[in-house]
Chains A and B, each alone.
Chain A
Amino acid sequence: MSLVFQSLVLGVLLGGLYALLAAGLTLYFGVMRVVMIAHSAFLILAAYLAWFFNRETGIDPLVSLLFTVPIFFVLGVTMQRTLLSRLRPATLTMMSVLLTFSVALVIEGMLGFVFSGTQRRIRLPYGGDSLELFGANIPVVKLIAFGMAAVSLLALYLILKKTPFGQALRATIQHPEAARLIGINTERIAGYGFGLGLATAAIGGTALSLDSTIYPSLHWHWIGPLMAIIVVGGLGSVPGAAIAALVLGLGQSLLQIPMGTTWAQTIFYVALFATLMVRPQGFFGGRLAQRF
């Protein structure tokens, strides 16, 4: 019984992290119909920057967010304006896979070149600490990562719902032509939307770096599950991705008890196939995703 409760707690924490890591991915698709294979490579890049910052200064890696979030935002806007907006709209989705795949390879190669293939880990004084709750241990670092996910997703939700920029972005997502007709500069908005997505990668990567060992090719292990999450959640829907991430994270953690690690991982792909067969627009995508 205690094992089930412990796994439940760990599953929720894991799901929160998945939600944060997947948020940007679903945003890119929503805004631009871009399948961003390089998203997880940017996560690892942010994790490396957090590790590097901590190694050089000795300050807590969370402080590196002050630099990485703005840098990633600018990087996202630049990448959208100079690379992705050049793709022909008719083949955008397909060609973006190729383009961002190559970006992922460039990032991986660069990380290997600069930091070597050695596997790194940030050593935190509270890395092995945990709080006890009804007999279950809650690892402090995982709790921090979960908190970061909750705050960022809430902020993202508020930006999208409450600000004029968010309204313009949602208008661009829902109907680009109509948005242009009412005077929204959809190209600029799309650039900012992409920047916003990459900024979540900076936060996600830093959260990841708190509790994992990183190496340049690690991003290939992440992109599959993250893609599955956004499809199940409904492409383009941030709340959908968050719910799907929690459900799948929890499912993985609980299934691991009877089935073992290898089979528990397949939950992502089983969910992906089931979604595509039963409800191709995703479970929370609603009107938006139905158009695809």
Chain B
Amino acid sequence: MKVKTPYRVAGLAAASCLALTACMSSGGDDASGADSDTITIGISLPLTGDFSEPGKGVQRGYEAWASWMNENGGLLGKDVELKILDDQSNADRVASDYEKLINQDGVNLVFGPFSTRLVVPAAQVAQDYGFLFVEPAGAAEEVFTQGFDNLFYAAPAVAQDHYNNLADAIEAMPDDERPETAAFAAMDDPFAMGTAYGLRDRLDEMGVEIVVDEVYPPNTTDFSSIAAKIADSNADMVVGGTQYQDAVNLIVALQQLDYQPQMAAFSTAPTNAEFAEAIGDKTEGILSPTGYTTQAEYPSNTEFVEYYTELNGTPPGEDEANAWTTGQVVAAAVEAVECADPDAECQSQLIDWLRENEVETVVGPLTWDAEGRPEGAHLIQQYVDGEIKIVLPQDTAEAELIVDKPNW
């Protein structure tokens, strides 16, 4: 085979560059490795672009965690230093960011970025280098089916399991109280669909008839025709696999058509502070799963809410909490195996430890299956007397579940 000279030169150049960076990176390891008195954690986050709002929330959570650690004796007695890069919500960028953090900057540990779309390429890089990869946001099923053995999702449940507590409660109802029909509308998005379909499949198994099952694209501006379908079916229960604006628009459209379900559940939106402002006094009885609440009485959570509120002036949200949880999970593993080195041996010890142990976090105790799925369920919140309160599971409930929703 004849190869043109320019390509051969380019190939040679590329090969020598690779060799050089290999040398450089091993040099980097020595500089910031076990001997120095700080532990550097590499992170790439979407600080600009589509995911910049939640990305900044995760950043605030990570930074609060680092400063809390440093005020409380550090990690293995060393100071924690975060190195945060901006991936601009871009999946190519996030991979090269982690490549750079691990290879050139020689960080000791890495934390994950925000959202499924960025978690997958980032986890791949971490996997290639044998790094432990704990991530705060990547709940869709596709994160766990890529064959990663280094990944752990630092939240109570994957998307499909968000409604498990509600499904259990419905299953436990006497036959005459249980909804007979249910209508589903979900955004064409792996996370939003995941939440709704988890519940849909459970309801289907227990014999609830699914009368509407709509999927709409993320750019949908008019929800009145979906609402018309749901209203026409007159289902006992309506479930939205939603993000934010779609849930608000759909709920208002349903109200406009005077559809009165017995139960109404929507993902994400109802836990948002803007929600009550947008819907007004018609929120009573609306259900929503949530992975985090400042009210939860886990020991480290009280500490976290207090510290975070003092630092930032506002209480933490779910993104901040999941970032903090990521820190707690990694810290627990590091303290247990007493190492935080970038080398494969230490990282695989960290991974192995997390496989076998339970970690106490601000979102409750976490354990994972072999693919990194957390094995808990989300709390179910409901608007009761105008405020969003935990209603399920019963042992952490702040209010009684309203089974028959008042008219909206």
CB of B249 within 8 A of CB of A128, answer: no
**Interface positions of A from 196 to 230, Cβ below 8 Å from B:** 211-213, 215, 218, 220-222
Is B312 an interface residue when CB atoms closer than 8 A count as contact? no
Give the contact stretch, choosing among A83-91, A115-123, A168-176, A278-286.
Answer: A115-123
Flag A100-119 by CB within 8 Å of B: 1 or 0 each. 00000000000000000111
- Per-residue contact bits, chain B 15-58, to A (CB 8 Å; 1 contact, 0 not): 00000000000000000000000000000000000001100000
Closest to B233 in A: A3
Shortest Cβ distance from residue A110 to the other chain B in the assembled complex, whole angstroms: 16
CB neighbours of B280 from chain A (8 A): 123, 127
Residues of A within 8 A of B249 (CB): 212-213
Please tell me if A7 contacts chain B, counting CB pairs below 8 Å.
Answer: yes
1/0 per residue, CB under 8 A from A, across B269-288: the answer is 00000100111101000000
Residue of B52, B225, B258 touching A256 (CB-CB under 8 A): B225
* Residue from the list A2, A139, A256, A257 in contact with B256, Cβ < 8 A: A139
8 Å CB contact of A121 from B216, B232, B248? B248
- Smallest distance from the beta carbon of A216 to chain B beta carbons, Å? 11
A residues within 8 A CB of B245? 119, 213, 215
> At the interface, yes or no: B222 with Cβ under 8 Å from chain A?
yes
Say which residue of A119, A222, A256 sits within 8 Å of B274 (CB atoms).
A119
In the bound complex, residues from chain B placing their C-beta under 8 Å from that of A213 are: 244-245, 248-249, 278
Is B408 part of the binding interface, using a Cβ–Cβ cutoff of 8 Å? yes
Which one of A69-77, A231-239, A258-266 contacts B?
A: A258-266
Contact of B229 among A3, A128, A265 (CB under 8 A): A3
Q: Are A10 and B252 in contact (CB-based, < 8 A)?
A: no
Contacts of B217 in A (CB 8 A): 261-262, 265
Does B206 have its Cβ within 8 Å of any Cβ on chain A?
no
What is the chain A residue whose CB lies nearest that of B282? Answer: A128
B224–A10 touching, CB < 8 Å: yes
Q: Is A275 an interface residue (CB 8 A)?
A: no
Q: Determine the distance from Cα of A98 to Cα of B408 in the docked complex, in whole angstroms.
A: 46
Tell me, yes or no, whether A253 is within 8 Å of chain B by CB: yes
Q: Which residues on A sit within 8 Å (CB–CB) of B5? A: none
CB-CB under 8 A from A128, the residues of chain B are 252, 255-256, 282, 408
Q: Verify if B257 is at the interface (C-beta below 8 Å from A).
A: yes
Determine whether A130 belongs to the interface, using a CB cutoff of 8 Å to chain B.
Answer: yes
Q: Choose one: A13, A118, A130, A215; the contact of B258 (CB below 8 Å).
A: A130
User: Is A177 located at the chain interface by the 8 A CB criterion?
Assistant: no
**A117-B52, A128-B255 given as contacts; is B215 within 8 A of A261 (CB)?**
yes
Known: A212-B221, A265-B217. A137 touches B232 (CB 8 A): no
Any A CB within 8 A of the CB of B220: yes
Looking across the interface, which residue of chain B has its beta carbon closest to that of A255?
B225
B 208-224 binary contact with A (CB < 8 Å = 1; else 0): 00000011110111101
Chain B CB within 8 A of A142 CB: yes
B188 at the interface (CB under 8 A from A): yes
Instruction: Write the nearest CB–CB distance from B400 to chain A, whole angstroms.
Output: 26
Q: At the interface, yes or no: B226 with Cβ under 8 Å from chain A?
A: yes
Select B257's contact among A121, A139, A257, A261, beta carbons within 8 Å: A139
| Known pairs A128-B256, A142-B256; A261 contacts B282 (CB<8 A) | no
Q: Please determine whether B219 and A253 come into contact, CB atoms closer than 8 angstroms.
A: no
* Residues of the B chain whose Cβ atoms lie less than 8 Å from the Cβ of A117: 52-53
- Residue of A whose beta carbon sits closest to that of B248: A213
Provide the residues of chain B in CB contact with A11, threshold 8 Å. 225
Is there contact, CB below 8 Å, between B257 and A6?
Answer: yes
In the bound complex, how far is the Cα of B217 from the Cα of A185, in angstroms?
A: 47
A243 contacts B by Cβ under 8 Å: no
**B232-A6 in contact (CB<8A):** yes
**Is there a chain B Cβ closer than 8 Å to A64's Cβ?**
no
Question: What's the Cα separation between A210 and B247 when bound, in Å?
Answer: 16
Which residues of A sit under 8 angstroms from B278, Cβ to Cβ?
Answer: 120-121, 123, 213
> Which one of B220, B232, B258 contacts A261 once the chains associate, using CB atoms below 8 Å?
B220
Q: Please indicate the chain B residues that have their CB under 8 angstroms from the CB of A215 in the complex.
A: 245
Q: Is the CB of B224 within 8 A of A252?
A: no
Q: Is A14 an interface residue (CB 8 A)?
A: yes
Q: B274 and A260: CB pair below 8 A?
A: no
By a CB distance below 8 angstroms, the chain A residues around B221 are 212, 218, 221-222
Complex Cα gap A137–B229 (Å)? 13
B21 CB, nearest partner CB in chain A, Å: 37
Inter-chain contact B231/A6, CB cutoff 8 Å: yes
Check B52–A257 contact: CB distance below 8 A. Answer: no
Residue from A120, A128, A140 having most chain B Cβ neighbours under 10 A: A128
- Closest B residue, CB atoms, query A218: B221
**A211 near B228: Cβ-Cβ < 8 Å:** no
Which of chain A's residues have a CB closer than 8 A to the CB of B215? 260-262
Residue of A7, A137, A252, A262 with most partner-chain B CB within 10 A: A137
By beta carbon, the residue of chain B nearest A256 is B225
| Complex Cα–Cα for A213 and B257 (A) | 18
How long is the Cα–Cα vector from A221 to B282 in the complex, in angstroms? 28
CB <8 Å contact, B277 and A260? no
Chain B residue contacts of A253, Cβ below 8 A: 224-225
Distance (whole angstroms) from the CB of A47 to the closest CB of chain B = 12
Least Cβ distance of A207 to chain B in Å? 13
Known pairs A119-B244, A123-B279, A222-B221; list 7 more (Cβ under 8 Å): A119-B274, A127-B252, A128-B282, A137-B258, A139-B256, A220-B219, A261-B225
Give residues in A with beta carbon < 8 Å to B: 2-3, 6-7, 10-11, 13-14, 117-121, 123, 127-130, 137, 139-142, 211-213, 215, 218, 220-222, 252-253, 256-257, 260-262, 264-265
Which residues of B are interface residues toward A (Cβ below 8 A)?
A: 52-53, 188, 214-217, 219-222, 224-226, 228-229, 231-232, 244-245, 248-249, 252-253, 255-258, 274, 277-280, 282, 408
Top 6 nearest A-B pairs (CB, nearest first) are A128-B255, A139-B256, A213-B245, A261-B216, A121-B278, A3-B232
5 CB-based A-B contacts, threshold 8 Å: A127-B252, A127-B255, A212-B221, A220-B219, A261-B214
